[in-house]
Amino acid sequence: MKTVVRVVSLPDAHPRRERFRATAPGHVDWSFFDAATTLSTEDDIAYSKHGARIAQGRELTKGEIGCFVSHHRLWKMLLASDADRMLVLEDDVFVDWPALLPILDAAFPPGMDYVRLYAKRLAPARELGWFLGKRLIQFLHYVHGTQAYLLTREGAARLTRAARSIQRPVDDFMDRAWHHGVPSFALYPFPVIELALSSSIGGLERYQSPPLSAVDRMRRVHYRLTDKVQRVLYAAREKSPAAVVRPSELSGVIPHGTPQELQRRIRAAQSVGAPAGRSSAGTSDGSFEKSSSPSETKSRPARLTR
């Protein structure tokens, strides 16, 4: 499986480029991708100012538009290449390369077309099991950020088809699995973290936009209610037996409660001297335990939530 690595960076971001270049191992084949600052005549996508005001309640900044265009171009670049998938990084990250390289070398099961390697916030999610020694998670809400993700050709094709116009930041767009149908997976702990650098897409000033008209306020309320219903229904379906994403159908994924997972927990417990049948990671049925007293425990379902 061929994976290409592209690092999104503004052409004049020399300090960021030097810092990333200094930390990247020499044997990894990667290259910078010049981030866009505006749309060009070659882009087959347009910015909808009115659509942004309805979807976001404000207009997008030039940085947000440029960020969307940059990732949209990367998706098309992947489709035009002979690569099977693309690792997209931004230049303001710290990469744990020893943890990341095995992920790049691994074959993913069909259906895992978009895998986050970083997220800016926690959100409701499903914990599907273990994959490559990490927790495999399916996010069901906005988590934001495009600092690091893996995307397959199928994922790129579906995102490109759904991106008819630019109406919201690109990370919001990619999180909306209930709209474009591309599930948002993640491997945790993340092998990539964001550095505390100033944003190039704008700060709080981006939320200062002209007020909406009465008609547009009504349209925005209707839009948000409709979107929330779709998101809630999507999350409910994915947590039910009718879920599109089913751990048992993801080859290589070890669901919680299986003999393999129990053995993994036993080995982990023995390595730290805990009782062999139970470890701090949880129980064999995939639940976490919290002691309420020395003689009793209280269990709760394992999930990542805010």
- Note the pTM of the prediction, 2 decimals: 0.81
Q: Give the confidence band of 268 by pLDDT, cuts at 50, 70, 90.
A: low
Q: Report the phi/psi class of residue 49: left, alpha or beta, with left for phi > 0 and alpha for psi in -120 to 50.
A: alpha
* pLDDT beyond 70 at 258: no
pLDDT for position 265: 62
57 and 198 share one domain:
yes
139 and 265 share one domain:
no
Comparing C-alpha atoms, which of 136, 97, 142, 100 is closest to residue 119? 142
Q: Does residue 188 lie in a domain region?
A: yes
Q: What is the domain extent for residue 275? A: 254-282
pLDDT for position 301: 46
Exposed/middle/buried for residue 185 (C-beta within 10 Å: 0-12, 13-18, 19+):
buried
What whole-number distance in Å separates Cα of residue 106 and Cα of residue 122?
26
212 and 110 share one domain:
yes
Structure tokens at 80: 């035009």
226 and 266 share one domain:
no
Q: Does residue 293 lie in a domain region?
A: no
What whole-number distance in Å separates Cα of residue 40 and Cα of residue 63?
14
CB 186 within 8 A of CB 117: yes
Q: Does residue 287 lie in a domain region?
A: no
143 and 273 share one domain:
no
pLDDT in tens, 23-48: 999 889 999 999 999 999 889 999 99
pLDDT for position 21: 95
Structure tokens at 215: 């008609």
10 Å Cβ neighbour count for 89? Answer: 25
pLDDT in tens, 203-253: 556 556 678 899 999 999 999 999 999 999 999 999 999 999 998 889 889
What whole-number distance in Å separates Cα of residue 268 and Cα of residue 163?
44
User: What separation, in Å, do the N-terminal and C-terminal C-alpha atoms of the chain show?
Assistant: 35
pLDDT for position 211: 86
* Count of structural domains within the chain: 2
Helix (H) or strand (E) holding 300: strand 296-301
SS (H, E, C) 187-231: EECCCEEECCCCCCCCCHHHHCCCCCCHHHHHHHHHHHHHHHHHH
pLDDT for position 207: 59
pLDDT in tens, 125-175: 999 999 999 999 999 999 999 999 999 999 999 999 999 999 999 999 999
72 and 202 share one domain:
yes
Structure tokens at 37: 């600052």
Comparing C-alpha atoms, which of 136, 112, 115 is closest to residue 303? 136
Q: Does residue 193 lie in a domain region?
A: yes
